Amino acid sequence: MTPPNAAPPQVAVSRPTVGAAFHMAPGEELFRLAERLERAGYDALWVGDHMAVHGPVLEPFILLAALASRTQRIRLGTSVYVLPLRHPAVVAKLAASLDFLSNGRLILGVGVGGEFPKEFELCGVPLRQRGRRAAEALAVLRALWRDGESSFHGEFAAFDGVTMLPKPLQPGGVPLWGGGRSEAALRRAARHCDGWLSYAMAPDRLAESLRRIQAYAEEAGRALDQFTVAHQVWLFVDGDEERAFRIANENLSHRFAQPFAARTRKLSVLGPPEACREKLAAYHAAGVRHFIIDPVCPEALADEQLERFAEELAPRLREFGAAA
């Protein structure tokens, strides 16, 4: 983690940075939490996105704009924005505006969605087109963020001689990080993105997926020297490892509406601080350079878990950087 008054971190780093996943809460509670996490040294705040699911989800650009107004340093990210549901020109304008107003702090994590088909029906987007739409949308974003006029002719978008202003404040445009675990998602991240957002993966599978990303990048003639690998960490720190498991498993089983015990043990970071540090070290060794801390517990305990991580585990991450 970086000091609270430091400049926004660069996209690629050897020492890991740390973000916090935000969930639904009343506005003033979210604002106070963002301020506390910035003071605690967190590097990024991450919010999710859905148009219509079983629970309430705030529109991510509106939420991040509100959080930007209450913070100065901390980066602002989407994990992940369901890109095929919107026209890419609208996304380009929203992202450029937020990056401009936040002094260049936005990271746009994107995915294709699909686990909730009704939101595709709601937006009039055929579910089977989501992968093609996402890949084309990434190219449209890059085109509209370049200096000068831009033109594009694709399957879903076409325009000539367009200039969209203001441009994002970050040189080259807003960093685009691709989310997902499928082969198509890995290929898309390798060919079109500046980073990859992983979740629900053990360290060994993550390392293998990263090798596949590197292979796809080589095929496309891309170098990944400025590519960041992020991982969403399901975490509950507690001196009693079984209690940590029970709390995490209840949360994840409810979140995914299915029995989750085996995956809770395999994919979560649970228990005493030293056990959590060892699991985080394994993810770092697999290639993770940005940890998104997602407390898997009741909302009443989530803020305490984020603060406990900052106090008891974040200082130990410096050891990972020395070994990278």
C-alpha 48/C-alpha 43 separation (Å) is 17
Q: So what's the pLDDT on residue 5?
A: 45
Q: So what's the pLDDT on residue 6?
A: 45
Q: What is the DSSP code string of 146-176?
A: SSS-EEEE-SS-EEEEE--SSPPSSTTSS-E
Q: So what's the pLDDT on residue 257?
A: 84
Strand pairing partners for 155? Answer: none
Q: What is the tally of helices (H) and strands (E) in the chain?
A: 12, 11
Distance of CA 269 to the CA centre of its chain: 18
Residue 8 lies in a domain: no
Residue 4 lies in a domain: no
Question: Does residue 250 sit in helix, strand or coil?
Answer: helix
Q: So what's the pLDDT on residue 324?
A: 41
Q: What is the DSSP code string of 111-151?
A: E---S-HHHHHHHT--GGGHHHHHHHHHHHHHHHHSSS-EE
Q: So what's the pLDDT on residue 1?
A: 60
Q: What is the DSSP code string of 216-229?
A: HHHHTT---TT-EE
Residue 6 lies in a domain: no
Q: So what's the pLDDT on residue 86?
A: 97
Domain CATH code at residue 76: 3.20.20.30
Q: What sign has the CA pseudo-torsion 37, 39, 41, 45?
A: positive
Q: Around Cβ 208, how many Cβ atoms within 10 Å?
A: 12
Residue 9 lies in a domain: no
Domain that holds residue 181: 17-323
Residue type, 197: L
Strands 228-237 and 290-295: parallel
Residue 102 lies in a domain: yes
Q: So what's the pLDDT on residue 7?
A: 42
Residue 10 lies in a domain: no
Structure tokens at 81: 């924005």
Do residues 163 and 92 lie in contact, with contact meaning Cβ atoms separated by under 8 Å? no
- Look at the chain and report how many structural domains it folds into: 1
Question: Does residue 77 sit in helix, strand or coil?
Answer: strand
Q: What sign has the CA pseudo-torsion 12, 73, 108, 254?
A: positive
Per-10-residue mean pLDDT of the chain, 324 residues long, equals: 44 73 89 96 97 91 97 97 98 98 98 95 97 98 96 97 97 96 96 97 97 97 94 98 98 92 97 97 96 96 95 90 50
Q: So what's the pLDDT on residue 8?
A: 38
Strand pairing partners for 292? Answer: 19, 232
Q: So what's the pLDDT on residue 41?
A: 95
Q: How many residues does the chain have?
A: 324
Exposure string of 111-134, with b = 16+ CB inside 10 Å and e = fewer, is: bbbbebeebbeeeebeeeebbbbb
Residue type, 34: A
Residue 255 lies in a domain: yes
- Pick from 18, 171, 47, 170: which is nearest to 99 by CA? 170
- Pick from 89, 63, 88: which is nearest to 78 by CA? 63
Exposure string of 230-269, with b = 16+ CB inside 10 Å and e = fewer, is: bbbbbbbbbeeeeebbbbbbebbeeeeeeebeebbeebbb
Q: pTM (2 decimals)?
A: 0.93
DSSP, res 314: G
Residue 210 lies in a domain: yes
